[in-house]
Structure 1
């Protein structure tokens, strides 16, 4: 199976994962997520240092609730890029492909492109950015000739989205990122094939899949 086809079907499955992930986290206030039980569970799992790391994330989110939405993009993008050091899944998790939760990325301090995008997505949703403005997008990073994932943000539906990326710190419109070849994008609402215009062709609405239940369960367990 080619890497592009494999990534396509991973995206189809991940749509259902994001639906469960969003229900498990973003329907609640930050105070309902970052509880004393939450911190104790992470401390038991990762050690006392995790309290400092995750309280820093909580503080950043709380401080960003009432600021301009474009500034929220900047904060989310820079925070993830600064807090997480790039590492491949085989080196970090000892498996070929692993989708880390934001907690896992932050407390280990490492992740790959998917993990950066997930952390930024979840941070922005926690800040109150609407779901229909955000998509995770698979692209081809032409400078590296490798598949890659970024987070994209639509300020207006018919405009080219802004790209939040771990390869480049500057947030630019997609039509200015000539180093990226879009393949498809997705969120909890569906999956879109990329095309020359901004939105792309929606080809699939969300449908359930047991393949990503483990990911959803991890998110839920982190909150207990």
Structure 2
């Protein structure tokens, strides 16, 4: 399949699932985490290596945490980029598109771009960063040099210090957190949060249907993470 067509197919699949998210997503919320249950599940499912990764995550959440939100962004971005290896859902989970819980991503030690964003998002929520400052952003990412570059569907996490601020980009491709205006390799397509879906900076009405998000939250709750 040509790369441009493959990109369109991937983007349309992602758009179909992700646009549904906002209709069942609550606003700002904290997390209730059952550390004992998480540690037990990680050991039984993924063995010593997975249990160690989950234990490191729980230790991160227990603090001490930096008071400044930007320092929390750096801490969380570095942790997830260091702890999870980039991979494809078809290889990791045997499915074309799977949204992994933080436990699953850390247990496997692998995930795709969405899994990085999910992990970073819930970690920042647990550290007290308001959900309305965070936005899931779908982009076209330019990969490779000028002579051999291609574009792929990609997701990053945006942090908005104020509603109209240029977002800071938390990305799995690079560990440096930069303003979106300095990420010329990324072309935004649309973004979303608890308030709605945004295309070209304009809010659009959410789609009134279920999505993978509900399944993700239900699996997280069974694992001991309750939004």
Q: Work out whether 1:67 is the aligned partner of 2:73.
A: no
Match in the other structure for 2:179: 173
Q: 1:18 to 1:99 in 2, by over 3 A?
A: farther
- 1:48 CA drift (Å): 4.2
Question: Cα RMSD between the aligned structures?
Answer: 2.3
The 2-side partners of 1:129 and 1:206 are apart by 26
SS at match of 1:47: helix
After the TM superposition, which residues 111-130 of structure 1 pair with which residues of structure 2 at under 5 Å, given as runs? 111-130=111-130
Q: Work out whether 1:157 is the aligned partner of 2:163.
A: yes
| Bigger Cα displacement from structure 2, 176-185 vs 10-19 | 10-19
Give a deviation string over 1:116-150, Cα, whole Å, max 9, x none: 11111111011000011001110000233110000
The 1-side partners of 2:134 and 2:207 are apart by 15
Contact 1:139 1:181 in 2 (8 A): yes
The 1-side partners of 2:104 and 2:18 are apart by 21
Aligned length: 212
- 1:90 CA drift (Å): 1.1
Give a deviation string over 1:167-199, Cα, whole Å, max 9, x none: 111111111111001011112232111x2xxxx
In structure 2, stretches of 5+ residues that fail to align are: 1-7, 144-149
The 1-side partners of 2:114 and 2:168 are apart by 17
- 1:221 CA drift (Å): 0.6
Q: 1:149 to 1:214 in 2, by over 3 A?
A: same
After the TM superposition, which residues 16-27 of structure 1 pair with which residues of structure 2 at under 5 Å, given as runs? 16=23, 18-19=25-26, 26-27=30-31
Match in the other structure for 2:76: 76
Match in the other structure for 1:135: 135
The 1-side partners of 2:24 and 2:100 are apart by 12
The 2-side partners of 1:208 and 1:100 are apart by 20
The 1-side partners of 2:191 and 2:97 are apart by 19
**Taking structure 2 as the reference length, what is the TM-score of the superposition?**
0.84
Contact 1:17 1:216 in 2 (8 A): no
Q: 1:39 to 1:79 in 2, by over 3 A?
A: same
SS at match of 2:205: strand
In structure 1, stretches of 5+ residues that fail to align are: none
SS at match of 1:138: strand
- 1:93 CA drift (Å): 1.0
